[in-house]
Amino acid sequence: MFTAIAGVYDLNNTLLSFGLHYSWKKIAASYIPPIEEGTALDVGSGTADLALLVEPRMGAKGRVIASDLNHAMLAEGRKKVADHGLSGKITCLQASAEHLGFPDNTFDAVTTGFCMRNVGNLPQAVGEICRVMKPGGRFVCLEFSRPVFGWLRTLYDWYSFTLLPWIGTKVARDTTGVYEYLPASIRTFPDQERLCEILRAAGFQHVEYRNLTGGIVAIHIATK
């Protein structure tokens, strides 16, 4: 499904979020503290937006790995990284969130944006992220969540299950059903408090979250 929409993924994100996804990602990246010669991993990086925002926070000699399971999405991200002249600092790598393949205690920081609801085994993916992080490292997870107001949940459900599939399909000319899958994946993803519990069970401490846009999106911040 993601291969089918890779070429128009950024355009559709802008249309479907009314441009808000840019500010959501900037806010998420701001929770990563500046680290001189830091190493960061962006899991489910897609077209590398979040990796590009995290890169300046790793210092002049820092490194960022942008990983994603989908080759077509990652190819779009690689082009974007090259356009920014950052191919020497951001490496695009095809990898599964549930089997990252890095040694223990590798990264100072890990980010993920709109990826965790797509993994097959969420506790395993979160456990892998915790494993590859250095003690004291920070994990920042940006993901769709549960709106805090009843009227907003009603409006958001109408938008997600009616308007979003129509707009997405018209723009992407997709026939795989990805724009029906996406709102369904949001509906079944753990809400803010439940995701906190999953993070703590994986070994993270000092877990907290911040709601954005009335809880349509939440940023979870956790320390190993």
- Full residue range of the structural domain in which residue 191 is found: 2-223
Q: For position 177, what pLDDT does the model report?
A: 76
* 74: number of Cβ within 10 Å: 22
Q: Which pLDDT value is given to residue 106?
A: 98
The rounded distance, in Å, linking the Cα atoms of 205 and 221 is 9
Structural contact between residues 74 and 3, judged by C-beta atoms closer than 8 angstroms: no
User: Which pLDDT tens digit goes with each residue over 68-110?
Assistant: 999 999 999 999 999 999 999 999 999 999 999 999 999 999 9
Structural domains counted in the chain: 1
Q: Which of 9-18, 33-42, 116-125 has the lowest mean pLDDT?
A: 9-18
3-state class (DSSP) for residue 140: strand
**Per-residue pLDDT tens digits for 26-63:** 999 999 999 999 999 999 999 999 999 999 999 999 99
The CATH number for 154's domain is 3.40.50.150
Average pLDDT, the chain: 93
Confidence of residue 133 (pLDDT cuts 50, 70, 90): very high
Pairs from 120-128 (Cβ < 8 Å, separation ≥ 24): 122/190, 122/198, 123/198, 123/201, 123/202, 124/98, 125/43, 125/97, 125/98, 126/198, 126/199, 126/202, 126/204, 127/202, 127/203, 128/97, 128/98, 128/99, 128/100
Task: Answer yes or no: pTM beyond 0.85.
Answer: yes
* Rounded (10°) CA dihedral 95, 99, 103, 107: 60
> Quick one: which of 64, 34, 201, 68 has its CA closest to 130?
201
